[in-house]
């Protein structure tokens, strides 16, 4: 003898967002995309009295596609009845209602229960701070700050990042070994360019004076040699300055300096 297990209470419960809630929310689908709201409301006026509604009807307008390849978006409406009986009566009476536009296109309404039966709650609690912004102390202080003259601190804050850096660099100029080496390289390049210009000028002047080609070559060699000497001097000066700025003085104790000198003397 086989006995069927009694259905548990957990399995008997309905699942989903509509659990334990009566069906009273109706959705009317597949309405024409170009159907105005007032035309739809006139069509249901005799079937849906105001006394049968729990809240006003929600209308979602359709959209006519400009692309002939894409389909139009149907309009739809949500109707909130007070009980399930009124919703069923409307479904039987309005399901399949036909709409005809001026071009002769027909559209039939499809009435069914909404998949989501919950109704959004209206905000019943009034906001106590609504309309009191003119009495807010922070807002009053903000209005006063717009008309008042800016202070020195506010002017400093309004400076952009680039202006602030330029101001700081003017107050506290910085010089590092790398910057000095770059400046020396730039000076050497400028000196070399000036020497080359001078050599070319001397060569042109020698050509105008009728000097021989050998003399022109000697003048060019001397000018290039002078340019190289000038560039080398500028580079050596820059390296000496950078080395002097990077070398730190070696601090020694008084008692350790004499033995080092004596050892060096002995080696000599």
Average pLDDT over residues 229-245: 60
* pLDDT of residue 24 exceeding 60: yes
**Residue of 164 and 205 predicted with greater confidence:** 205
Question: Is the per-residue pLDDT at 92 higher than 90?
Answer: yes
Residues 29-57: pLDDT tens digits?
A: 999 999 999 999 999 988 988 888 888 89
- What is residue 167's predicted lDDT score, i.e. its pLDDT? 67
CB 75 within 8 A of CB 35: yes
Which DSSP string do the residues of 151-182 spell out, in sequence order?
A: -HHHHHHHS-HHHHHHHHHHHS----HHHHHH
Nearest one of 261, 191, 186 to 226, comparing CA atoms: 191
Residue 258: which pLDDT band, with cuts at 50, 70 and 90?
A: very low
- Start-to-end CA distance of the chain, whole Å, equals 122
Q: Percent of the chain scored above 90 by pLDDT?
A: 31
> Cβ neighbours of residue 77 under 8 Å, at least 6 residues apart?
27, 28, 31, 40, 57, 58, 59, 60
Examine the pLDDT at 202 and tell me if it is beyond 80. Answer: yes
- Find out whether 59 and 42 touch, Cβ atoms under 8 Å: no
Between 32 and 1, the higher pLDDT residue: 32
Residue 232 has pLDDT above 80, yes or no: no
A 10 A CB-CB count for 35 gives 20
Q: Does domain 21-113 have CATH number 3.50.30.50?
A: no
Domain boundaries, the chain: 21-113, 177-247
């Amino acid at each position: 003898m086989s006995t069927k297990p009694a259905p548990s209470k957990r399995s008997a419960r309905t699942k989903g967002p509509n659990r334990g809630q009566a069906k009273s929310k109706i959705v009317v689908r597949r309405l024409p995309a170009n159907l105005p709201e007032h035309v739809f409301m006139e069509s249901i006026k005799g079937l849906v009295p105001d006394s049968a509604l729990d809240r006003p009807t929600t209308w979602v307008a359709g959209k006519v596609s400009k692309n002939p390849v894409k389909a139009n978006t149907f309009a739809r409406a949500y109707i909130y009845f007070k009980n399930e009986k009124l919703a069923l009566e409307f479904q039987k009476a309005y399901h399949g209602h036909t709409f005809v536009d001026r071009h002769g296109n027909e559209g039939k309404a499809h009435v069914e229960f909404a998949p989501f039966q919950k109704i959004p709650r209206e905000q019943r609690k009034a906001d106590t701070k609504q309309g009191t912004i003119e009495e807010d102390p922070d807002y009053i202080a903000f209005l006063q700050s717009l008309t008042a003259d800016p202070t020195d601190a506010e002017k400093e804050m309004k400076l952009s990042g680039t202006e602030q850096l330029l101001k700081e660099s003017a107050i506290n100029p910085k010089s590092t070994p790398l910057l000095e080496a770059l400046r020396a390289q730039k000076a050497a390049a400028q000196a070399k360019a000036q020497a080359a210009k001078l050599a070319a000028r001397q060569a042109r002047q020698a050509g105008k004076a009728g000097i021989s080609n050998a003399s022109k070559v000697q003048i060019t060699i001397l000018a290039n040699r002078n340019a190289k000497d000038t560039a080398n001097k500028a580079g050596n000066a820059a390296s000496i300055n950078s080395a002097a700025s990077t070398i730190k003085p070696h601090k020694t104790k008084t008692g350790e300096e004499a033995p080092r000198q004596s050892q060096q003397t002995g080696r000599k």
